[in-house]
Chain A
């Protein structure tokens, strides 16, 4: 099938990532690629009944030098994670940490689910005990938009942006929105991604739904015990191909397709037949001008719950089975934990790094693949030249996203750079 992209590809010129595997992209990617096991019980303020649960927690965060210690310690952990990954994304794209007023405005599209919940929980606990004695400074960072405000102020991002709060697909949506804003001419460059910190609400909440595995998730495994809660942040530096060319930056990869759909079925369960998730994949492929047989790797959402895994496998089978079969699939959730608002961005970064290095990350934790999920899982680190990759995410409320990445600029893309 002839490849005809229906939208202008967006260049990815920088990546910043912090996960339980490492405090930067190189460390994180090394751990993810090799399937390093980093899960351990959280040393945060968790009720005794939940302290045995293994999570994917980031190591001690290193304060960026431009942020004074007094400010750094007052930030929510979600904001701290976002600061670290944004710094790295800007640096790897060859951009200064602080934009000049004369620079082209940079957009900022960020996702989170709970934002400053780590501080809000402390505040609320004090508030319950004695409202008048509660430390009001803790409420400074509770609003989700505080992440965007901090990044915009710190880096002088003057372009468009918003905070996306659509749980597990939020950062994939933020990346899609940044691409749309760039294509619409609202900005030439944008930072897009997600950030999420561990907190009691997430661990206790998912535990209340009986979805948390105490020893780590096993995506697509017959004996899957549930999800692993994690934290982290990833930011992508996105720009027009023209802008990258003008700046003399060689893009790492291109975003060529995006779509989002909604099951409109149930508040927590995905629609079992995977119709809407399959629709998102088809639409993203259509935007990219690719057929399913053109996809070389799928990074699945793969949370390690029965409902997610079976639905996602059904959706992938709907899109890929009738063509040249299903390409290699892996879920990296056991390696990074489920980072909710950051998951889409972290997995987008993983797809881009897989394309860059021709290396497939393993579907760690799967010992006995579930016959209900007949997917060609990547069971160990595998070298394979890749041209394209698809990242899928599913979320509460039946939200689904798909992002398509290409290693090289499509030859017949309708990009103005060719003109």
Chain B
């Protein structure tokens, strides 16, 4: 227990002892985490945008003329079960006639003795669908249902929007991973500098019988503390930046940046992991 307390206190004291290199490491961690945070916020807000667009996607399904109301209800139930479909609205022959009358201004039954308009159904997709929404698959599944005569949709346009969104997400992830990788290298090299400047300490510790774990732990703890400090500063920066940006946006638009601040726990987790990997990588090379 005394040994653990000593190593912990050494890790904290090292932050002050190596203040210059600690400053460099904390600054680079802060920059990296802030960039990753901005990407997180961008992802959250583009997701809101795509959710809004998905509410506008409309698929209109027209049933064959001989389909009865009862049969149409059964077909609609089948449509509801298709993955990606959120809700359906059945429009009966009479309702279609009313809509026609209100839009065109003529009553078709006055010219014809029957109602020629088919039963139809409006399909809404699930706006909260994760990742790429495969609209053409949904349409194909609807087409395969008996009684469906025709489908009106904007499949190609929706497909383009969805593909663009998915590629954007992939790009953001790639950039985030590249930043994480570079941060690990930066932390590792900064700590390597710290270790190099402490080669006398390591030599002395070895001569008095310290194990590699005893030598390694304060440096790893120092790295983790650097990561956490960087994450705290980045969190304040991101909060301030979103607050400032919203203040500015509110002067011109009704749009504001919405953030689920729980994502900061990810920032802390990333900081912990990259500083752990970075410091362990550096000290391991030195203790070989």
Asked if A and B are interacting partners, one says no
Residues of A within 8 A of B (CB): none
